[in-house]
A and B are shown apart, each in its own frame.
Chain A
Amino acid sequence: MPTAKSSAAPISRVNDFVVRFANVNGSGSASANEMFARAIMRMGVPVAPRNIFPSNIQGLPTWYEVRVTEANHLGARGGVDLMVAMNPQTFDKDIAGIEAGGYLFYDSTKELPASKFRPDITVIGVPLTAICNREYTDPRQRQLFKNIIYIGALTALLDMDVKAVEQLIGEQYKSKPQLIEPNLKALNIGRDFAILNLSCPIGLTVRKADKVGDRIFIEGNASAALGAVYGGATVCAWYPITPSSGLADAFTKHCEKLRVDPETKKAKYAIVQAEDELASIGMVIGAAWNGARAFTATSGPGISLMQEFIGLAYFAEIPAVIFDVQRAGPSTGMPTRTQQCDIISCAYASHGDTKHILLFPENPAEAFEFGAIAFDLADRLQTPVFVMLDLDIGMNHHLSRPLTWDDSKKFDRGKVITAEELEAGKDFGRYLDVDGDGIPFRTYPGTHPTKGSFFTRGTSRDRYAKYTEEGAPYVDNMQRLVRKFDTAKDMVPRPLQATSVNQTKYGVLYFGSTAPAMDEAIHMIEARGHALDRMRIRAFPFHSSVNSFVADHDFVFVVEQNRDAQLRSLIVNECGIDPVRLVPILHYDGTPITARFIAKAIGDHLDQLKLTPMKVTS
C-alpha cells in the first residue's frame, strides 16, 4: 500500500497545519527536522516546533512537531495533519493520531497489510530504506541521509522553496564543507522521487509570506543564559539535570564569546560543574555573599535538594538567582516532559516560614529579560529569586521577538555600604530596617579594616547581627522579612491584562508557557460565543492588581500545567480569595498545553453556565 486515497475529504490548507515526525531517538533525525522547520520560517511563514523526546540516548521513540502557522498561533494546537511515521515502534499509535482527512508519510520499503492503515487518510509511501540501500553503502550514512531524503520529498509534497533548505544545508556544514554536496544530493534524491512518483503537492502547502519579520528562532535556555550574561552574572555553579543543562551549556558558550578579556584572554566569569545541587546552590550563596552575581540552573529534583540552603539564603538575606527549568514530577517523574509543577515548592522552598520571589517568563524573549532583571531583584531584595522556565520554553525553539538591551542601564547592586561610607561614620546594622521597606544594608567581606564586618548565620540574631535566641528580636526580624516581601510586590514584573471587547463577568489567569496557547484559545472561546478578560501573571509575590482582577469578576479560570492547581493555591493563600471563585483548568500529561484543550475546558464550563435550569415541578 505505497499510496492510497482518503475516504474523508483530504485536508486542504495553506500555511496552517501541523506536521509531526515520529523517529527513533539517536537516529540523527532532530537536526533534519529542525532544518525543515527553519526552512519554512525562512519562507516568511511562522513556525512553532516542539520536540517530544524520551529520557534516553538511543532507541526509544521521539517526535518532532512543526506547527506551520501564518496566523502566528505559536502554542501547541493538538492533532496532526501530516504524520511522517519513521518509527515502526509507534506506527499504529502515530496513525491513530492523524486528523480525519489528514496525511500519512511512511517508509514503504516493506509492504504492510492494509489493516495497518486508516481509510480516512491519504497514505503517501516512499521506499526510503530501499533508496538508501541503493545509494549508500555505509550503514550510518544510510540512516543519516534517510532523514534528509524525506525532507527532500516533503519539499515537493508541501510545495516548499527547496532553495531555503539548500541554503540551510550550506550554513549548517559551513565548517565541514565536504558534507554539503552529499546532503544536497540526498535532498534531491527525495525531492526527485516525490516529483516523479507522487502527486505533488498534497492539500497542505507552504506559501511564501512575510509574517516572520525580525523575529528570532531560539530556545529559552539559550536566551535565559544570555540574560544572565547581560545581568552581570560572573559565577555559575550547576549540576547536570534535564531540562536545564542546556542553560548552563549556553551560558558557557555565551561567556566564551562575550566575556573573555581581549588582551589577557582571561575569563570574566567562573563556571563550576558542582558535585550535586547542594554544592551548586552553596557556591551561588557563597559567591553572592561575597558580592558577585551568581546563579544556578536546575529542575524540580534539584530544587528539592537545595531546600536547606534556600532557607539559609532567605533568612541570612543573601541574593541568589535560580533558574528552574520545570519538568514533570514527582520524583524522577517524566524528566523529558514539560509541566509547571514547582510553583509551590519554589514559592515556599525550605523549612520554617519562607517565601520567595518567582518570575514567570512566557517565552525566550521574556526569559532573556527576566534572566537579566533577576540579578537586580536578587541584589536589591537580598533574597533568592527563581526564574521559572519549563521544558517547553527552555528546550524548544520559539519564534520570538528579537532581544533588546538598554545600553544606559546600570546594574542595581542594592543597598551596599562602601568603605568610604563606613569611614564617614555611617551606622551599620546588618538587619536594621533603615528605610522602612524591610530591606537592610549589607557590606561585602573585606570592605574595611575595623568597621562593617558582621557574622552571617542561619541562626536568629538581632538587628546588629548579634546571635540571640530571644523571642522578640526573632519576631522583629521575621516581620521585617514580611515587609521586605511586600516591598517586592511593586518591584517584580507586573501582570499583563487584556480586557475582552464584549463585557464579561468571567476572567482567566495564566502564566508562563501557557501564554501562546491561551492567546489562540481566547479566539476559539470567543467563537463559541463567550467573552473572557484575561491576565497573565508574571511574578510572585502577586501585585495588588491580581486581587482586583479576581474581585472584578464573578469567577476566574486559572489555567496551569500541573495536577494540583498550584498557582491557584498560591493565589488563594496569599490574596485571601475564596477558592470557589477560582476555577482550575489543568493540563499535566507532560505535553505542552494546547489551545484546543483550553478552549474546550473553558468553553464547556461557560456553556454549562448558559443553561437555564428547568423548573422542577412535582
Chain B
Amino acid sequence: MTYLAKPKFHHPGLPKNDLGYTHRDYEGTVSTLCAGCGHDSITAAIIQACFELSIEPHRVAKISGIGCSSKTPTYFLGNSHGFNSVHGRMPSVLTGANLANRDLIYLGVSGDGDSASIGFGQFAHALRRGVNMAYIVENNGVYGLTKGQFSATADRGSKSKRGVTNTDNSIDLAAIALQLGASFVARSFSGDKQQLVPIIKAAIAHKGAAFIDVISPCVAFNNHAGSTKSFDFVREHNEAVNRLDVISGRMPIEVQYAPGQIEIVEQHDGSTIALRKLDADYQVHDRAAAQAFLQHHAAKGQIVTGLLYVEKDADDLHAHLHTVDTPLNALNEKELCPGQSALDKFNASMR
C-alpha cells in the first residue's frame, strides 16, 4: 500500500514518553520496500528505541548512503533532517556533519553493499576515528535494488536465488569493526526486536563509534533454501551471547535477576545497560577475546549476536581534536575572524 499517504490520526490513548511524544511522533513516511522486508523491522526498532529513550525527534541527524537500507531513513523520524547521500559514502558525510555540530545525535544507516563493498574504506575510517554515532548496517547479503547480486557479506558457499554459488569469502563487518577499534560493536537480527531495540538504544547512548550489524533478510532475493541470510537460516544458527534487557537514563535498575547472570554496564552519558549473559564465559569488555569468539563460531556456521564489545571509557573524534564545547556551526564572526589587527601582525612577519 505504498501509494497511500500515511494517515496522521492516531488513538488518543497512545502511550507518551517523558517528553510527551507518542510513538507516532518518531515515524516517517510509508515504506516503499517490499512487504516483509527485514529493513522495515529495523525501522520499527529504531522508532521504538528513540521513543523509549525520549529523544527530541529533531535532534537526530539520520544519514545514509544508497541502496534499499539507505532508503529507510525516510520511514522513521519524520521531524529529523535526513541525508540520503552517495553510494558507500554515508560515513564521511556523517563525520563532517558531526564535526559541524557535536550536539546532535547521529544515526548512520547503511547496507552491506554500501558498507562492505563500495564504502568499505569509509566504513573503516569512520570507525577508527571514533566518530560519535550509531552506525547501523542492514545486512542482507545481496543487492536488492539491482535485483539480487551477491554482496561482500554473502557467505562463501551460499546460493543466490538464481542458483549461483558464491565463491568469494565473506566480510564479517562486526569482526572488522572490532579490529578497527569501534568502541561499541553489536550484532542482531531484524527478526528479533526484543534483542535489537535495546541494542539500538545502547548504541545511541554510547559516546563513540557504535556499530551494529543487523542481519536483515531480503524477502525478494535472499530468503530461499541455500541462503545463509534467510529468516530460517538465521533463526536456526543464531548464537546470542547476551541480551540487553534494560537500558535506562540515570534511573536505577529495578529488574531483579539471579546473581551471576547480570552485568551492569555504565555508559559514558550516565545511562546504564543491564546485560543478561547467555554465554557465561563471554567477556564483553575484551576486544581480543570477542574477535576470537566470533571467528570460532563463524567457522562452525553460527551467527553470534548480542552486544559483542563495549569500551568502558570510550571517547570520540571531538575529544581527539580537542574542539570547543560550542558546536562549530554556532560560532560567529567574532569568534572565528581574527580581524585586521591580527593581519597587521601577520603582514609584518612576512617581510
Q: Are B58 and A407 in contact (CB under 8 A)?
A: no
For B329, the chain A residues whose CB sits under 8 A away are: 234, 287, 290-292, 444
Interface residue? A217 (CB, 8 A): yes
B100 touches A235 (CB 8 A): yes
B11 located at the interface, meaning its Cβ lies under 8 Å from any Cβ of chain A in the complex: no
Q: What's the least CB distance linking B91 to chain A, in Å?
A: 8
Q: Are A274 and B125 in contact (CB under 8 A)?
A: yes
User: From residue B328, how far is it (CB to closest CB) to chain A in Å?
Assistant: 4
- Is A216 an interface position by the 8 A CB rule? yes
Cβ–Cβ < 8 Å partners of A610 in chain B: none
A446 CA / B339 CA spacing, docked (Å): 30
Decide: A308 and B86 in contact? CB cutoff 8 A: yes
Binds A, one of B73-81, B109-117, B203-211, B288-296: B73-81
Whether, in the assembled complex, B41 has its beta carbon less than 8 Å from a beta carbon of chain A, the answer is: no
Interface string of A550-578 (1 = CB under 8 A from B): 00000000000000000000000000000
Check A272/B328 contact, CB under 8 A, given A232-B337, A267-B322, A450-B58. Answer: no
Q: How far is the CA of A271 from the CA of B329 in the complex (A)?
A: 14
**Inter-chain contacts of B100 with A (CB < 8 A):** 234-235, 286-292, 294
Across the interface, do B347 and A294 meet the contact criterion of CB distance under 8 Å? no
What 0/1 pattern do residues 124 to 147 of B give for CB contact below 8 A with A?
110001000000000000000000
CB contact under 8 A between A289 and B97, given known A266-B325, A268-B335, A271-B321: yes
Q: Is B18 an interface residue (CB 8 A)?
A: no
Q: How far is the CA of A273 from the CA of B189 in the complex (A)?
A: 35
- Beta-carbon contact of B61 and A272 below 8 Å: no
Residues 72-120 of B contacting A (Cβ, < 8 Å): 73-74, 78-86, 89, 91-101, 103-104
Q: Is the CB of A445 within 8 A of B93?
A: no
B79 and A282 within 8 A (CB): no
Known: A290-B61, A453-B79. A411 touches B333 (CB 8 A): yes
Within 8 A of B (CB), among A247-288: 258-259, 261, 264-272, 274-276, 278-288
Q: A216-B350, A286-B83 are in contact. Are A232 and B336 (CB under 8 A)?
A: yes
A403 adjacent to chain B (CB < 8 Å): yes
Partner of B324, one of A261, A444, A450: A261
Question: A458 interface residue, CB < 8 Å from B?
Answer: yes
For A454, list chain B residues within 8 Å (CB): 81-82
Q: Is the CB of A453 within 8 A of B333?
A: no
Nearest Cβ on chain A to B40's Cβ, whole angstroms:
17
The interface centre, meaning the residue of B84, B86, B337, B339 with most chain A CB atoms within 10 A of its CB, is B337
- Check if B335 sits within 8 Å of A446, measured CB to CB: no
Contact status A270-B81, CB under 8 Å: no
- How far does the alpha carbon of A456 sit from the alpha carbon of B89 in the complex, in Å? 14
CB under 8 Å from chain B, chain A span 391-433: 402-407, 409-411
The answer for the CA separation of A267 and B317 in the assembled complex, in Å, is: 13
Closest to A372 in B: B337
Docked pose: A458 CA to B66 CA in angstroms: 10
Collect the chain B residues with CB atoms within 8 Å of residue A261's CB. 324
Give chain B residues whose Cβ lies under 8 Å from the Cβ of A453. Answer: 58, 78-82
Bound-complex Cα distance A459 to B83 (A)? 11
- Please indicate the chain A residues that have their CB under 8 angstroms from the CB of B237 in the complex: none
Do the beta carbons of A449 and B58 come within 8 Å of each other? yes
In the assembled complex, the Cα of A215 lies from the Cα of B351 at a distance in Å of 7
Do residues B343 and A234 form an inter-chain contact, with CB atoms below 8 A?
A: no
A281–B86 CA distance with the chains assembled, in angstroms? 12
Complexed CA–CA distance, A214 and B343 (Å)? 13
Known: A234-B328, A234-B329, A446-B58. A282 touches B93 (CB 8 A): yes
B342 within 8 A of A: yes
Complex Cα distance, B328 from A268, in Å, reads: 7
Given contacts A279-B121, A286-B96, A456-B84, contact A446 B103 (CB under 8 A): yes
Question: Once bound together, how far apart are the Cα atoms of A406 and B329, in whole Å?
Answer: 22
Interface range, A side: 35 or more
Given contacts A286-B96, A445-B104, is CB(A455)–CB(B57) below 8 Å?
no
Judge if B252 is at the interface, Cβ distance under 8 Å.
no
* Interchain CB contact under 8 A, B96 and A284: yes
> Which residues in B have their C-beta under 8 angstroms from that of A259?
336, 338
Specify which of B83, B91, B347 lies most central, judged by the most chain A CB atoms within 10 Å of its CB: B83
Residues of A within 8 A of B57 (CB): 449
Shortest B101–chain A CB gap in Å is 5
Write the chain B residue with the least CB distance to A309. B86
B64 to chain A minimum Cβ distance, whole angstroms, is 9
Please measure, in the bound complex, the distance between the C-alpha atom of A294 and the C-alpha atom of B95, giving whole angstroms: 12
Query: Is the C-beta of A218 less than 8 angstroms from some C-beta in chain B?
Result: yes
Is B122 close to A, CB under 8 A?
yes
Residues facing A in B302-351 (CB within 8 A) are 317-318, 321-325, 328-329, 331-333, 335-340, 342-343, 346-347, 350-351
Q: Which of A215, A268, A285 interacts with B96 by CB under 8 Å?
A: A285
In the assembled complex, the CB of B99 is this many whole angstroms from the nearest CB of chain A, namely 4
Tell me the smallest distance from the CB of A209 to a CB of chain B, in Å. 15
**CB nearest neighbor in A for B321:** A270
* A437-453 interface bits toward B, Cβ cutoff 8 Å, 1 = contact, 0 = none: 00000011111111001
Least Cβ distance of B307 to chain A in Å?
Answer: 28
Interface presence of B63 (CB below 8 A): yes
A404-B343 contact in complex given A285-B96, A292-B99, C-beta closer than 8 Å: yes
Q: Are A272 and B350 in contact (CB under 8 A)?
A: no
Separation of A272 and B129 alpha carbons in the complex (Å): 10
Asked whether A387 is an interface residue with its Cβ less than 8 Å from the other chain, the reply is no
With a 10 A CB-CB cut-off, give which of B92, B96, B351 has the most chain A CB atoms: B96
Tell which of B329, B331, B340 has the most Cβ of chain A within 10 Å: B329
Q: Does A457 make an interface contact (CB < 8 A)?
A: yes
How far apart are A310's CB and chain B's nearest CB, in angstroms?
Answer: 10
| Chain B proximity mask over A455-469: 1 for CB below 8 Å, otherwise 0 | 111110000000100
Residues on A with beta carbons closer than 8 Å to the beta carbon of B85: 282, 285-286, 312, 458
Chain A residues contacting B83 (CB-CB under 8 Å) are 286, 289, 455-457
Q: Note all chain B residues with C-beta closer than 8 A to A235.
A: 96, 99-100, 328
Known A-B contacts A235-B100, A272-B99; the reply to A403 vs B346 at CB < 8 A is yes
B297 CB–A CB distance under 8 Å: no
Task: Determine if B266 is an interface residue (Cβ-Cβ < 8 Å).
Answer: no
Cross-chain contact B92 with A278 (CB below 8 angstroms): yes
B56 CB within 8 Å of chain A: yes
A458 to B59, CA, bound (A): 23
Scoring A234, A308, A312, A458 by chain B CB atoms within 10 A of each residue's CB, the highest score goes to A234
Does chain B have a CB within 8 A of A595? no
User: Which residues of chain B are near A294, meaning CB under 8 Å?
Assistant: 96, 99-100
Are A446 and B346 in contact, with the CB atoms below 8 A?
A: no
**Are B93 and A275 in touch, CB under 8 angstroms?**
no
Which residue of the partner chain B has the closest CB to A235?
B99
Which of B56, B129, B318 meets A449, CB within 8 Å? Answer: B56
**For B125, what are the chain A residues with a Cβ–Cβ distance below 8 Å?**
274-275, 279
Asked whether A32 is an interface residue with its Cβ less than 8 Å from the other chain, the reply is: no
Q: Which of B58, B74, B331 contacts A268 (CB under 8 A)?
A: B331
Q: How far is the CA of A291 from the CA of B61 in the complex (A)?
A: 13
Q: For the complex, is A206 an interface residue (Cβ under 8 Å from B)?
A: no
Q: Which 7 A-B pairs have the closest CB atoms?
A: A286-B96, A282-B92, A292-B100, A283-B96, A445-B81, A291-B329, A287-B96
Q: 12 A-B Cβ contacts within 8 A?
A: A217-B350, A217-B351, A266-B324, A270-B323, A272-B95, A272-B317, A274-B125, A285-B85, A286-B97, A290-B329, A403-B343, A455-B81
Q: Which residues of A contact B (CB under 8 A)?
A: 41, 214-218, 226, 229-230, 232, 234-235, 237, 258-259, 261, 264-272, 274-276, 278-292, 294, 308-309, 312, 402-407, 409-411, 443-450, 453-459, 467
Excluding A215-B351, A265-B322, 19 further A-B contacts by CB distance (< 8 Å) are A266-B325, A267-B321, A268-B328, A272-B99, A279-B89, A283-B93, A285-B85, A286-B83, A286-B99, A290-B61, A290-B96, A292-B101, A405-B343, A406-B340, A407-B340, A411-B333, A445-B58, A446-B103, A459-B84
Residues of B within 8 A of A (CB): 56-59, 61, 63, 73-74, 78-86, 89, 91-101, 103-104, 121-122, 124-125, 129, 317-318, 321-325, 328-329, 331-333, 335-340, 342-343, 346-347, 350-351
